[in-house]
Amino acid sequence: MELQLINPSKMPCFSTHGCIKTKGFSIESAKRESVISSSKGIQRCSDKDLSLILRKEAAVKNIEKKANSSKYNNLSPKAVLDALDEAIQGKQWESALKIFGLLRKQHWYVPKSQTFTKLLVMLGKCRQPGQAGLLFEMMESDGLQPTIDVYTALVGVYGLNGLLEKAFDTVNYMKSVRNCKPDVYTYSILIKCCAKLGQFDMIGDVLAEMSYLGVECSTATYNTIIDGYGKAGLFEEMERTLTEMIGSGACLPDIFTFNAVVGAYGNSGQIEKAESWFDQFQLMGVKPDIMTFNILIKSYGKAGKYRRMGSVLDFMKKRFYSPTIVTYNIVIDTFGKAGNVEKMEEFFLKMKHQGMKPNSITYCSLVNAYSKFGLIDKIDSILRQVENSDVVLDTPFFNCIISAYGQAGDVEKMVELFMAMKDRKCKPDDITFASMIQAYHARGMTEAAQSLERMMITAGDASESQKK
């Protein structure tokens, strides 16, 4: 397919009929960003930016230390509130709760629902529904009446962490609270939870209740349903919902609808469908964005259509769409999985020449490809690059490089990286332990494997107790 941007004003009117719509490691830990979710490129940090980041981290740690003392009850409001915001934005939930405890001890403290809402949203993202429940109780003990935003955040915490019954109970309770009746945003969050957990039969019940209560669907509501159906491979339901959205007249498709539909078909390998909808959305007046092109590139790459993938890159260049870190990561990962190491390295160098800083995802793709073809020397080179950079690493990166050295039989290096991981507060997960246990068994180190299995069980029990 030859890509083209379509001007709706010069085309026939679109009809919905017939279609549905280690040692010396100088690294930092952070949550991994989704390959598709962000369309912003990460440019090279200046020394000033890095200095600012380090100062903010130091401020959070400084305030956190004071949280365990009872004598710090009249600190600067700006210092405490800034540290709390930084901890929340960084998803450092333990630090955030400690700082919030210190905030509550201050003479000038006044409970605010916005603060509780931000903390609840963070706890949901950090998979801490138990802590969220305790925070909600704390809010009530502070004498603060929960708002609709607080309840909605609580619905998200429970639902997105698999506690769907609690999420529904919270919505039902909201109906009895004055000025806290669930609104379209509350129901949209509830629908998102149902879709994420594959409970699509419940979506119909939620929509029926919305209709009964006179709560109309928003564009975001339709997009949530369309995205959920698409990711689950329920294409007929997805297109039916798109038709209903268009037919409503009040909620027109936007770029999020565009990307959800094209992404659903592209990810499932239905390239012709993805291309067809790419054109049809433009006929509806919705223009593609950089994320749309990233979706197409990933879809073509997954289907092994590398020429078409290249044609999208060429099209972007002609139309002045600048590739982002996400674009490059997709291309690098695609060629790496295809075994085309030369092309993978070509785009890696091109990315750096354009002043774009590789991130954890970039290095993961490189390490996985090198490991697959036994190029352990190149993995050593990647490790040296990471040591000499300020790249922010995460648990998935450590998992892939630990697995690489484990498969290569370098147990000593594997253990060294495992210790560096713990030093940098990147918590090992089941994948970490499984990779190391497999490596130990492969070398006949049964005792070491059993010791690690016990450690994994202990870590799992501790994690579960935190969530409750």
pLDDT at 23: 41
Classify residue 2: in a domain, yes or no. no
- Asked whether residue 131 carries a pLDDT value surpassing 80, the answer given is yes
- Asked whether residue 56 carries a pLDDT value surpassing 60, the answer given is no
Among 348, 373, 391, the domain boundary falls at 391
**Band of the pLDDT at 76, cuts 50, 70, 90?**
confident
Based on the domain organization, do 202 and 141 belong to the same domain? yes
Based on the domain organization, do 444 and 307 belong to the same domain? no
Based on the domain organization, do 399 and 363 belong to the same domain? no
- Asked whether residue 357 carries a pLDDT value surpassing 60, the answer given is yes
Based on the domain organization, do 317 and 432 belong to the same domain? no
Domain count, the chain: 2
Among 391, 411, 431, the domain boundary falls at 391
Based on the domain organization, do 293 and 434 belong to the same domain? no
Classify residue 143: in a domain, yes or no. yes
Among 344, 363, 391, the domain boundary falls at 391
- Asked whether residue 32 carries a pLDDT value surpassing 50, the answer given is no
Q: What is the pLDDT of residues 255-285, one digit of tens each?
A: 999 999 999 999 999 999 999 999 999 999 9
SS3 letters across the chain: CCCCCCCHHHCCCCCCCCCCCCCCCCCEECCCCCCCCCCCCCECCCHHHHHHHHHHHHHHHHHHHHCCCCCCCCCCHHHHHHHHHHHHHCCCHHHHHHHHHHHHHCCCCCCCHHHHHHHHHHHHHCCCHHHHHHHHHHHHHCCCCCCHHHHHHHHHHHHHCCCHHHHHHHHHHHCCCCCCCCCHHHHHHHHHHHHHCCCHHHHHHHHHHHHHHCCCCCHHHHHHHHHHHHHCCCHHHHHHHHHHHHHHCCCCCCHHHHHHHHHHHHHCCCHHHHHHHHHHHHHCCCCCCHHHHHHHHHHHHHCCCHHHHHHHHHHHHHCCCCCCHHHHHHHHHHHHHHCCHHHHHHHHHHHHHCCECCCHHHHHHHHHHHHHCCCHHHHHHHHHHHHCCCCEECHHHHHHHHHHHHHCCCHHHHHHHHHHHHHCCCCCCHHHHHHHHHHHHHCCCHHHHHHHHHHHHHHHHHHHHHHC
Based on the domain organization, do 463 and 384 belong to the same domain? no
Based on the domain organization, do 375 and 443 belong to the same domain? no
Classify residue 407: in a domain, yes or no. yes
Domain that holds residue 444: 394-468
pLDDT at 423: 78
Classify residue 333: in a domain, yes or no. yes
